[in-house]
């Protein structure tokens, strides 16, 4: 289908800086074919009126656990151990394949509704999430959370199942990473096996690193080094890695991350809510580490709203560094778009530009929080709530229009999620 | 008018803890007359269907500068001095009485839209804000920002004008505070004059205190004490005070605030964005200081959205105190409602209960961020974006219904605010 987005204010990357320009955006099939004045020769099948609207590259959430969405608000204001061992884990043990599908669908609804077009997921059931992503029309980079000790059977089986799910997936909008869960759930031998497998299949990894004081202290006690140092020694960083959290980092850790081109997916809201603290993001940024943004799951956030996460990323680090000039709106918008595309080694997403995949989010800016229109780039980070998004196009397909998601029966998903919680939490 | 809100989930204070209960809410004129099952004898003029909705007490924003709304996003990512002296102050000098009316109207639109029914304002033109509040239908507690040295004419004239505006105001939903701006804009003699005037007229005060390192260091240098200690010595705390910010406090400062029953209106987002830091809110809370929440102005936030501010209040202090159990959803909801009613010495607002003023915000919770409905109290603080609010009742009058504000021509306000910025920033 040929889509013309007519006369719309658009967030365009010019000389590595975002600017807002008035333009027409022409989409042919899966690709953006022109941005600027539309040629007379472009005969659209469908026209979207850009009046009072702002087009931005679809946002990329680089760390979440989509299936956990039905745990939203089920375990708040608790200590980490009460949260995880008292509430989340016992509930998780009762989940079926179908449950995880509905959880991932709820996540897709919330992400599409708030302008996210692509997400990096660590899940417990690859096929459930593949189905949800496919039905929703989203783009995704999926990993199964791998837990294992040495060369034991459980870890090997999970890895093999995971690889089989990859090869069986026929959706071209889904790609894969391997997802060793964390240094405290994977021992070094298993991490080596996973890394070797990644090398063999030309895959990257995603892993939770340096999230909590507990984790860092335990690794220090056992290995006399930091989790980041341990990963370098173990060879995990020999493949491309997206490391989630990275809250507790030494200067040496930051050097290691930079030297190994590791991407850090920061999760400011989850880190605050679970009381793990605040990542040294300004230092990471200044040292040239590629940084991106993730929401983590709805069990620890409790939203998958990238606008809220961008807002926290900017505000928090100004406050704790006592410097209001750091983490500018431009920096943060790049983290949620082009930095993420770099992390995913996918140069075809993250920008509104000719030749790119047509992943576009359109916001209705005829709302008080966008008035007056002094600086729309600032407004996206400092004023938007996320629910201004009214149209979302992914890979050239209109997935949401006028705030109605066209690919999903949202009421059915809400109903199923309520039923799951009633069953497992009774 | 008699309004029946039929069969709605409602946030009700029971034994000093919020609970969500299904009920009918009956409103007669300005008051809530019953909460529970509605009596057959109550014949409503108008019925609001509570299906898929949640009723909460109208939120109370205890610190803002409403007229500044058109400065939203005009000066971001700048140092404090570039922000204030380079951008905001020069623009502010060009504002007319009419400009400030439109700015305050924009603020009222944003606050009503996001469920705030009452706000505490420090302004530069009392009549402009009185008119805006009156036209919008909001409840407000207004103060003019008073700046002065000793008994000089400027400070005296501002105070007299201010008192005249009070006596001339005929809107019973507006009450007043005196608003000495800050220790760095009012000397001790002027603070004494303002405090004596407050005593004479039985008024409280609101003032910015201990907001920035600069302020604290300067007071320390000049008076060899902290701003809080200086206020106690000067007698400012002899009247009821709402102190905004209070970012930098010693243990002695906190004892002084407690001893003098000073309310602290915390502004977490403004303090982060201007890089002033993070208030010791957990300590204030534990020591028994009455704490409330304010957004500050749209020039330093950049929203007047109390849901976002509640979210920050909970998340931030869990993170920095490394304790996820502090600042619970219940604590934060009270800060935005009953604690504020206490600060304003107005026991008739801040709760949904018989006899209270009918200030009620109704949210549409048929939205992904509210699914599943595991804990609606948590959802209000951790998942809501604020724009779920679809109906707002203030003093028994429906001010917004189905997300349409009935009292204000929003497009006219947006237009006027754009024109003001074009004129003053050219």
Which strand (E) or helix (H) includes residue B193?
helix B188-201
CB A390 within 8 A of CB A97: no
CB contact under 8 A, A76 and B387: no
Encoded tokens for B202: 């039985």
CB contact under 8 A, A315 and B269: yes
Q: How far apart are CA B29 and CA B11, in angstroms?
A: 21
Mean pLDDT of A108-112: 98
In tens, the pLDDT along B180-215 reads 999 999 999 999 999 999 999 999 999 999 999 999
Q: Is the pLDDT of residue B37 over 90?
A: no
Helix (H, G, I), strand (E, B) or coil at A426: coil
Q: Which residues of B touch A379 (CB under 8 A)?
A: 72-73, 302
Q: A336 vs chain B: nearest CA distance in angstroms?
A: 18
Locus of tokens 């229109």: A373
Cβ burial, residue B301 (10 Å; 0-12/13-18/19+): buried
Mean pLDDT of B162-174: 95
In tens, the pLDDT along B215-249 reads 999 999 999 999 999 999 999 999 999 999 999 99
In tens, the pLDDT along B375-411 reads 999 999 999 999 999 999 999 999 999 999 999 999 9
If you write DSSP's letter for every residue of B280-327 in order, what string do you get? Answer: -HHHHHHTT--EEE----TTSSS---HHHHHHHHHHHHHHHHT-TTSS
CB contact under 8 A, A385 and B383: no
Q: B6 vs chain A: nearest CA distance in angstroms?
A: 22
Confidence tier at B125 by pLDDT (50, 70, 90): very high
CB B310 within 8 A of CB B332: yes
- Nearest CA to B367 out of A304, A121, A136, A301 is that of A304
Provide, rounded to the nearest whole percent, the portion of chain B with pLDDT above 70: 100
Q: What local confidence, expressed as pLDDT, does residue B181 receive?
A: 97
CB contact under 8 A, A78 and B329: no
Q: A59-343, what's its fold?
A: TIM Barrel (3.20.20)
Q: Is the pLDDT of residue A426 over 90?
A: no
Q: Which residues of B touch A420 (CB under 8 A)?
A: 372
Q: What local confidence, expressed as pLDDT, does residue A106 receive?
A: 98
Q: What local confidence, expressed as pLDDT, does residue A330 receive?
A: 98
Nearest-CB residue to A110 (from B325, B368, B420): B368
If you write DSSP's letter for every residue of A45-63 in order, what string do you get? Answer: SEEEE-TTEEEEEPEEEEE
Q: A172-185: string of b/e by CB count within 10 Å (b at 16+)? A: ebbbbbbbbbbbbb
Q: Which residues of B touch A73 (CB under 8 A)?
A: 374-376, 378-379, 382-383
Higher pLDDT: A80 or A28? It is A28
Q: How far apart are CA A119 and CA A112, in angstroms?
A: 10
Q: B125 vs chain A: nearest CA distance in angstroms?
A: 21
State chain B's mean pLDDT as an integer: 97
CB contact under 8 A, A272 and B315: yes
- Nearest CA to B144 out of B192, B188, B100 is that of B100
Q: How far apart are CA B97 and CA A183, in angstroms?
A: 62
Cβ burial, residue A422 (10 Å; 0-12/13-18/19+): exposed
Q: What local confidence, expressed as pLDDT, does residue A284 receive?
A: 98
In tens, the pLDDT along A64-96 reads 999 999 999 999 999 888 888 899 999 999 999
Q: A246 vs chain B: nearest CA distance in angstroms?
A: 15
Q: What local confidence, expressed as pLDDT, does residue A407 receive?
A: 98
- Nearest CA to A58 out of A19, A133, A116 is that of A116
Helix (H, G, I), strand (E, B) or coil at A207: strand
Q: Which residues of A touch B414 (CB under 8 A)?
A: 366, 368, 371-372
Beta-carbon contacts of B150 under 8 Å, excluding residues fewer than 6 positions away, are: B187, B189, B190
Q: What local confidence, expressed as pLDDT, does residue B13 receive?
A: 97
CB B68 within 8 A of CB B298: yes
CB contact under 8 A, A303 and B74: no
- Nearest CA to B101 out of B62, B135, B144 is that of B135
CB contact under 8 A, B109 and A368: yes
Q: B230 vs chain A: nearest CA distance in angstroms?
A: 25
Encoded tokens for A325: 């000039």
CATH 2.30.40.10 fits A2-57+352-405, yes or no: yes
Show the beta-strand stretches assigned E in B99-222.
116-123, 139-146, 174-180, 204-209
CB B136 within 8 A of CB B108: yes
Q: What is the pTM of this model?
A: 0.98
State chain A's mean pLDDT as an integer: 97
Q: What local confidence, expressed as pLDDT, does residue A84 receive?
A: 87
Q: How far apart are CA A54 and CA A11, in angstroms?
A: 8
Cβ burial, residue A166 (10 Å; 0-12/13-18/19+): buried
Q: A29-58: string of b/e by CB count within 10 Å (b at 16+)? A: ebebbbbeebeeeeebeeebebeebbbbbb
Confidence tier at A270 by pLDDT (50, 70, 90): very high
Nearest CA in chain B to A375: B73
CB contact under 8 A, A369 and B77: no
Q: What local confidence, expressed as pLDDT, does residue B382 receive?
A: 98
Domain residues of chain A, as ranges?
A: 2-57+352-405, 59-343
Q: Which residues of B touch A382 (CB under 8 A)?
A: 73, 76, 273, 301-303
Nearest CA in chain B to A419: B372
Cβ burial, residue A6 (10 Å; 0-12/13-18/19+): middle
**A-interface mutation test, from B213, B278, B371, B423, most A Cβ less than 10 A away:** B371
Locus of tokens 């505490």: B120
CB contact under 8 A, B374 and A71: yes
Q: Residue B231 CA to chain centroid, in angstroms? A: 22
Cβ burial, residue A221 (10 Å; 0-12/13-18/19+): exposed
Nearest-CB residue to A109 (from B368, B417, B418): B368
- Nearest CA to A305 out of B307, B294, B10 is that of B307
Mean pLDDT of A302-315: 98
Q: What local confidence, expressed as pLDDT, does residue B147 receive?
A: 94
Which strand (E) or helix (H) includes residue B364?
strand B360-364
Q: How far apart are CA B288 and CA B260, in angstroms?
A: 11
Q: What local confidence, expressed as pLDDT, does residue B38 receive?
A: 78
Encoded tokens for B330: 């219940």
In tens, the pLDDT along A150-201 reads 988 888 888 998 999 999 999 999 999 999 999 999 999 999 999 999 999 9
Helix (H, G, I), strand (E, B) or coil at A30: coil
CB contact under 8 A, B271 and A319: yes
CB A252 within 8 A of CB A276: no
CA atoms within 13 A on the CB side of A65: 27
Q: What local confidence, expressed as pLDDT, does residue B39 receive?
A: 80
Nearest CA in chain A to B303: A383
Size of interface A-B (CB pairs under 8 A): 217
Provide, rounded to the nearest whole percent, the portion of chain B with pLDDT above 90: 95
Q: Which residues of A touch B386 (CB under 8 A)?
A: 385
Q: A99-113: string of b/e by CB count within 10 Å (b at 16+)? A: bbbbbbbbbbbbbbb
Nearest CA in chain A to B416: A372
Nearest-CB residue to B73 (from A70, A275, A382): A382
Confidence tier at B121 by pLDDT (50, 70, 90): very high
Q: How far apart are CA B361 and CA B113, in angstroms?
A: 10
What architecture is domain B2-58+356-405? Roll (2.30)
CB contact under 8 A, A329 and B76: yes
Encoded tokens for B81: 């001095």
Which strand (E) or helix (H) includes residue B331?
helix B329-335
Q: Is the pLDDT of residue A113 over 90?
A: yes
CB contact under 8 A, A77 and B378: yes
Q: How far apart are CA B293 and CA B340, in angstroms?
A: 8
Nearest CA in chain B to A109: B368
Q: Is the pLDDT of residue B81 over 90?
A: no
CB A228 within 8 A of CB A289: no
What is the torsional sign of CA A368, A374, A375, A378?
Answer: negative
Nearest-CB residue to B305 (from A110, A372, A385): A385
Q: How far apart are CA B149 and CA B185, in angstroms?
A: 8
Nearest CA in chain A to B378: A73
Q: How far apart are CA A47 and CA B223, in angstroms?
A: 67
> Within 10 A of B154 (CB to CB), how many other CB atoms are there?
12
CB contact under 8 A, B73 and A383: yes
Q: Is the pLDDT of residue B40 over 90?
A: no
Encoded tokens for B130: 């009185």
Mean pLDDT of A359-368: 98
**A-interface mutation test, from B369, B380, B419, B421, most A Cβ less than 10 A away:** B369
CB A208 within 8 A of CB A181: yes
Locus of tokens 């069969």: B7
Q: B272 vs chain A: nearest CA distance in angstroms?
A: 4
Q: What local confidence, expressed as pLDDT, does residue A151 receive?
A: 86
Beta strands at A397-401 and A389-394: parallel, antiparallel or unpaired: antiparallel
Nearest CA in chain A to B374: A74
Nearest CA in chain A to B332: A77
Q: What local confidence, expressed as pLDDT, does residue B80 receive?
A: 81
- Helices H, strands E: what count in chain A? 16, 17
Q: Is the pLDDT of residue B151 over 90?
A: no
Mean pLDDT of A409-426: 96
Q: A222 vs chain B: nearest CA distance in angstroms?
A: 24
CB contact under 8 A, B329 and A76: yes
Q: Which residues of B touch A392 (CB under 8 A)?
A: none
Provide, rounded to the nearest whole percent, the portion of chain A with pLDDT above 90: 95
Confidence tier at B87 by pLDDT (50, 70, 90): very high
């Amino acid at each position: 289908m040929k889509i013309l987005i007519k006369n719309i204010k658009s967030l365009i990357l010019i000389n590595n800086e975002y600017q807002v320009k008035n333009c027409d955006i022409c989409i042919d099939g899966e690709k953006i074919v022109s941005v600027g004045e539309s040629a007379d020769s472009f005969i659209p099948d469908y026209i979207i009126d850009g009046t009072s609207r702002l087009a931005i590259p679809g946002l990329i959430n680089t760390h979440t656990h989509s299936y956990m969405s039905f745990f939203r608000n089920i375990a708040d204001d608790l200590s980490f151990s009460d949260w995880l061992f008292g509430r989340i884990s016992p509930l998780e043990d009762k989940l079926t394949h179908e449950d995880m599908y509905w959880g991932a669908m709820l996540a897709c609804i919330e992400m599409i509704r708030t302008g996210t077009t692509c997400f990096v997921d660590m899940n417990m059931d690859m096929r459930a999430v593949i189905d949800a992503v496919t039905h929703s029309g989203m783009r995704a980079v999926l990993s199964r959370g791998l837990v294992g000790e040495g060369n034991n059977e459980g870890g090997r089986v999970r890895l093999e199942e995971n690889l089989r799910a990859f090869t069986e997936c026929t959706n071209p909008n889904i790609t894969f990473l391997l997802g060793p869960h964390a240094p405290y759930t994977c021992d070094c031998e298993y991490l080596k096996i996973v890394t070797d497998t990644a090398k063999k299949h030309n895959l990257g990894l995603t892993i939770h690193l340096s999230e909590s004081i507990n984790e860092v202290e335990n690794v220090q006690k056992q290995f006399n080094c930091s989790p980041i140092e341990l990963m370098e020694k173990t060879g995990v960083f020999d493949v491309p890695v997206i490391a989630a959290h990275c809250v507790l980092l030494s200067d040496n850790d930051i050097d290691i991350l930079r030297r190994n081109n590791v991407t850090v997916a920061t999760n400011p809201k989850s880190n605050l809510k679970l009381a793990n603290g605040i990542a040294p993001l300004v230092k990471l940024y200044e040292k040239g580490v590629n940084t991106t943004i993730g929401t983590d799951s709805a069990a620890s956030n409790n939203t998958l709203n990238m606008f809220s996460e961008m807002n926290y990323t900017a505000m928090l680090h100004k406050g704790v560094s006592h410097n209001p000039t750091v983490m500018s709106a431009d920096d943060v918008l790049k983290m949620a778009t082009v930095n993420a595309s770099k992390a995913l080694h996918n140069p075809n997403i993250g920008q509104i530009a000719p030749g790119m995949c047509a992943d576009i989010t359109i916001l209705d800016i005829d709302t008080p929080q966008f008035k007056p229109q002094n600086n729309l780039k600032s407004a996206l980070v400092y004023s938007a709530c996320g629910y201004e998004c009214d149209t979302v196009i992914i890979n050239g397909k209109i997935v949401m229009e006028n705030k109605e998601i066209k690919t999903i029966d949202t009421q059915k998903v809400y109903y199923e999620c309520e039923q799951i919680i009633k069953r497992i939490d009774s």
